[in-house]
């Protein structure tokens, strides 16, 4: 019975790690759609978002079943509760990738980004995918050092996000208000995506140590 219970807990973690893989792929596609005005990739992200929603629903159903039937305590209880919250964070990452893809579709066939900011968004996409991939690894390994690395990686995203405001406030910006609004919103989507990945890592720290790291507003 205990072996079966442990398999269920492991399966729950596997679902969450799989979700991280899904949203990493979604952000990669959405970023390429954004940079290349690729309507096909944008449509793929939009269509496939339902997969992440489905996995979240299945993960939550499994977690609530464990709460009801197994009455977990201590570490096991932290795993189940963190899984419920973590599934929400990961689904939100998928939603943010979706928003990026929708922006690419909305402006197609015109590019969304001025050439001068495109390299920064390419880097934000790279950092975001890396964060989601690392979050999946942390869920599987419960490695506290690896979880802490996500905080450092998130600093890079925050720096890129802040730099966008410097670019927008530059008196040489000549791309108009609509482009400025697009850049502002898109940079925020990437920054929040990273924040949710860090929140997932922090929930793993809570699972292992019993203490949640400092608050993160997402």
What is the predicted pLDDT for the residue at 3? Answer: 74
* Residue ranges of domains in the chain, CATH in brackets: 2-209 (1.20.58.220)
Q: Look over the chain and give the mean of its residue pLDDT values, rounded to a whole number.
A: 93
- Which residues, in sequence order, are CB contacts of 44 under 8 Å at separation 6+? 29
User: Which residue blocks in the chain are alpha helix, DSSP H?
Assistant: 2-36, 39-70, 74-107, 118-141, 144-169, 176-209
Residue pair 56/87 in contact by the 8 Å Cβ criterion? yes
What is the predicted pLDDT for the residue at 2? Answer: 63
What is the predicted pLDDT for the residue at 218? Answer: 46
Tell me the chain's radius of gyration from C-alpha atoms. Answer: 19
| Sites in the chain below the pLDDT cut of 70 | 1-2, 214-218
pTM over 0.85: yes
């Amino acid at each position: 019975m205990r072996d079966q219970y442990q398999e269920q807990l492991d399966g729950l973690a596997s679902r969450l790690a799989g979700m991280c893989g899904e949203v990493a792929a979604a952000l990669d596609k959405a970023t390429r759609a954004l940079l290349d005005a690729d309507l096909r990739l944008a449509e793929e992200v939009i269509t496939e978002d339902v997969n992440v929603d489905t996995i979240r629903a299945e993960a939550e159903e499994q977690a609530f079943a464990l709460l009801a039937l197994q009455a977990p305590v201590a570490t096991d209880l932290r795993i189940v509760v963190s899984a419920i919250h973590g599934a929400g964070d990961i689904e939100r990452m998928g939603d943010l990738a979706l928003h990026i893809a929708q922006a690419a579709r909305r402006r197609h066939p015109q590019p969304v980004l001025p050439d001068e900011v495109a390299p920064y968004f390419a880097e934000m996409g790279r950092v975001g995918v890396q964060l989601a991939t690392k979050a999946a690894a942390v869920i599987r390994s419960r490695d506290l050092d690896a979880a802490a690395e996500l905080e450092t990686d998130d600093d890079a995203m925050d720096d890129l996000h802040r730099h966008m405001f410097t670019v927008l406030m530059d008196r040489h910006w000549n791309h108009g208000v609509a482009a400025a609004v697009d850049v502002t919103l898109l940079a925020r989507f990437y920054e929040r995506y990273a924040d949710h990945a860090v929140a997932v890592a922090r929930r793993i720290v809570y699972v292992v140590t019993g203490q949640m790291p400092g608050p993160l507003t997402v």
